[in-house]
Chain A
Amino acid sequence: MDGLLGRYRNLSVLVIVIMAQLVLLAVQVKNNQDVRLIRVWAVTAITPLARVLEGIRANTFGLAGEYWDLLEVRSRNQSMKSDLDRLKLENQYLKAELATAKRIEAMAGFVQRSPNKTIGARIIGTGAGMNSKVVFIDRGSTAGVLKGMAVITPDGIVGKVTASYPTGSQVMLITDPTFACGVLSDKSRIHGTARGQGNNQILIDYIQNEQTVLVGEIFYTSGDDRIFPKGLPVGPVRVARQGKLFKEIYVSPAAFDRGLEEVLVVLEGVHLPIPDLASQSSSSAEAKLMPPPEADAAAAPVDASPRPASGQGFATDADRLLQRYRSLGEQQGVSYGNGGRLPNFNAPAVPRTSAPKASAVAPSPNITPPSTPRAPNP
């Protein structure tokens, strides 16, 4: 068979084609359709190709269009970004201006209220020392700023002028390790010395362990240092605990809470009273109190037995005994050395509350006459 078809291939193909033509004609007649088959076939054959081509065309054009759109969007985005940055800067500038205006307003209000003669200055630089905390201000000796003057803000003290040049001054901040000033607590009115630590804390030194200082209590300048006028806020107590020799009290400087840009140099200071507790409840210093540090054992009040700071109140066993014998004489109505009634030194003595506090020595025998019934006097 294969050989026959192969031998008469052309004829075979013609016959197959004519037969196929006849079959197709038959199908067309049977189906009674207007569209010619050839057309159907052509369309059927062309349509997928056309669809692919059209898809390619459409996608190509769409992509290109979108690409152009994207480019346009990017450029617009960049433009908008730059606008945004500019607006942000403007906003920041305006905010800063507003803050400055507010600070200056507060400062102006403070200057008006405060009896201290002050001059405003702007901080223009900081010191380069590793541990030193110094800044430079734009007011110098030509403006009346002199070495040793106090530098403050309405929120609290900032430091003191350590060098004065014609157009600027160097200010040692209260956080500098060599800085110190006299302070006074608002509640217990305890005097101490504030000392910079090189960080954002200030140590209040020379306060006896027996004295009570609470967290949240505010320290003000005491005026003892002859630099700062009395009554300027230093800061609230963050930590208060028992120390080795003195209490360990740390204060956060109130002046640094809102940053430092403008300061006031006190040209002539006037001592002010420390604000009382009632007025502090609404004061800004009280409002700025930070929460106390967690789990601080010193938050509880320490022993409050007062102890004199100078030697004037110290006494020895001699003073205590003298007081006892004096009390004994008073109880018995005896005036020593004047004759008359004989004193009975073995009578019990009623302790006087005003007796001077003895020094820290071990109690010795024979100090107190025994608690015995009084022997009869002649």
Chain B
Amino acid sequence: MFHLPRRSMREDFPDRLRFLRDESKFAQGKIAFLQYLSFAVLIFLAGGYWNLQIRNEELYSLKAERNRIKSLPIPAPRGKILDRDKRVIVDNHSSFSVLLSRESLKEEHLKPIADGLGLDYDELLAQLKRHRSRPKYQAMIIKEELTPAEIAFVESHRDPDTYPELELIHTERRVYPQNGFGAHLIGYVGEVSDSELNLADFAKYEQGDLVGKTGIERQYNDILTGIDGQRQVLVDNKGNERRILGLKPAVPGQSIELTIDLDIQAVMELAMDGRRGGAVALDPRNGEVLAMVSRPAFDLARLSSRDRNRQWRDIFTNPDKPLLNRAIQAQLAPGSTFKPIVALAALEGGEVTNDTNFNCGGGLNFFGRYFHCHNKRGHGATTLKKALAQSCDVYFYNVGNRIGIDQIARYAEVSGFGSRTGIDLPAEAEGTLPSSKWKVRTLREKWYGGDTVSVAIGQGYLTATPIQLAHAIGGLSIGGIWHTPHLLRNGNAPLKPARKTDLNLENVRLVIDGMCEVVNGWGTAANSRIPGVEMCGKTGTAQTASNEYQKARNLRLKDNAWFVAFAPRINPEIAVAVLFEEGEHGNLAGTIARDVVKAFFDKKSRRELSQSKSGDLTASLDSAPSPRSLN
């Protein structure tokens, strides 16, 4: 056995050992580094896992679900609006609208989208701002009624690489009569505004919903509005639709039938064409409104859009106020059309009889002030009938002075002045019915006798709307029963109870006699006579400002022309009130009423003839034998 000398390896291979030592150190360092790196990555992944699966699990699962499922609204079509013969006044038609998905919206896409669709960029931003309160997954309609060019733009840009936030949907759009036909009566639809959302009527709506804004569209918005449907589709990672997951069809709104008669409405529209004012025709027996026109009008199609473009703004800023429904909102002095009410008040109070006579010399002094008659030469000895027929102002100055303002006010109030008629339209004006109490309450002034004299001829503080006049005269014509004017024809549903007043029918007859003389005798509206129809009426020529006011400002304002009428004299079927602003004389409004009443009775003869021949109430008049015109 032998032993090798104990020399350390360090002594034998010093360089090699140094190398081995370094190598091991290097490997250890690398391993440690990798360990730390792995640990850091693990921590990072665990953090991500925590964030995704625990901390914001609901948010991300919802996002993932939404990424997979896309919900598209199916807007419900609004109900149609029909006339009393079930003819279509407002219809719907198919169209395309473009939706903007706010969920995937990129701000930088808005400008080119607005350019491509011809939208006002600022308005689009404002629209987006208005929709901020709604959940982001609810897309908003940014343009309706797309043209082929706009459809091509949307279709060619809604791919996942360009503007995936665009979506094309099929919608039903309103078809309104053109050129402002029935514009104020029908009303328009638009996006619900912030102020409307605070109203109880619109509590169930959200920003961006379409609601009726005015007219029938507003009044019966709940009936006309349907329930929107929804289409859920499965989309791939690029947003392409792969499968329809669910379909909830839209429930259309209900159609409503109005009391409007399109034949009468059409004639009234044509007769009021080119004028400014309002007109109403109603059936005094039940309060059904047969026609209602206001001029100037506006194009409903322009307003019934989400796009608040320049044309939209033009209508709102038009100084002629085309949005004002003059038939129910124009509160103007009714002029001499108020005289029948004054006459009734005087007769009912017993201060005046049929034989009461006042001399008209062209004017008279009351309380130190000279009040003119419209006939400067005077009417001479004037009775009630003559006073009504020739609209003698002096006669009514005397009557007013005799009976006082409070008696006038009492009977005017009974006739519906000074309060809304209750017609089923929004924003009806109530006019002004002055009385001694009213003046103290409103103006903090004492009532003067001179005020009564002015009111007696329908001037002064008194203001009324055309619907109030038609309502008042219609109720008077049937002996003191005032039915609430209404537009909804609700079948056999009970009407609102009529307001009845025990009037002396002999007094009513005297007033009616006087009104019949206006048209059929030697009255102020002889040009409105209709052979075969005994139409009774009353002209009115009302100043829009006092003479003193005009003189002081060197103005020469034209008078407003009024006319109220009913026909026939016995058992009236139609009552009409016409306001022709700046018409200068009431008989010029009378010719408008004449044509409306003529249309009513011509149609009646057609219908009667059709019924007698066929026994069918709805037989087409195309096949009806020849009726005679009521000429």
Contacts and interface: CB of A to CB of B under 8 A. Distances in A.
B262 A347 contact: no
Interface string A228-259: 00000000000000000000000000000000
B151 to A, nearest CB: 5
A265 interface: no
A249 B599 CA distance: 50
A337 B145 contact: no
A311 B625 contact: no
Interface in A62-98: none
B73 to A, nearest CB: 19
B90 interface: yes
A181 B156 contact: yes
Contacts of A195: 155
B116 interface: yes
B88 A345 contact: no
A314 B93 contact: yes
A366 B606 contact: yes
A141 interface: no
A191 B155 CA distance: 13
A364 interface: yes
Is chain A's interface secondary structure helix, strand, loop, or mixed overall? loop
Interface string B265-279: 111011111010000
A49 B113 CA distance: 107
A333 B606 CA distance: 22
Contacts, number: 229
A311 B631 contact: no
Interface stretch (A107-115, A294-302, A322-330): A322-330
Contact of B627 (A160, A162, A314, A372): A372
A370 B177 contact: no
Interface stretch (B188-196, B344-352, B589-597): B589-597
Nearest to B150: A224
B365 interface: no
Nearest to A178: B159
A222 interface: yes
A19 B621 CA distance: 152
Nearest to B607: A366
B266 A162 contact: no
A325 B527 CA distance: 22
B240 A206 contact: no
Contact of A148 (B83, B162, B238): B162
Contacts of B602: 344-346
Contacts of A192: 148, 152
Given A182-B149, A224-B152, A316-B88, A339 B266 contact: no
B449 interface: no
B88 A321 contact: no
B147 A180 contact: no
B159 A316 contact: no
B624 interface: yes
Interface in B375-403: none
A165 interface: no
Contact of B148 (A163, A182, A364, A368): A182
21 contacts: A172-B159, A177-B240, A193-B152, A224-B152, A225-B156, A226-B157, A310-B95, A310-B147, A311-B95, A314-B175, A315-B177, A317-B262, A322-B269, A326-B270, A337-B592, A338-B591, A342-B530, A364-B88, A365-B621, A368-B621, A370-B624
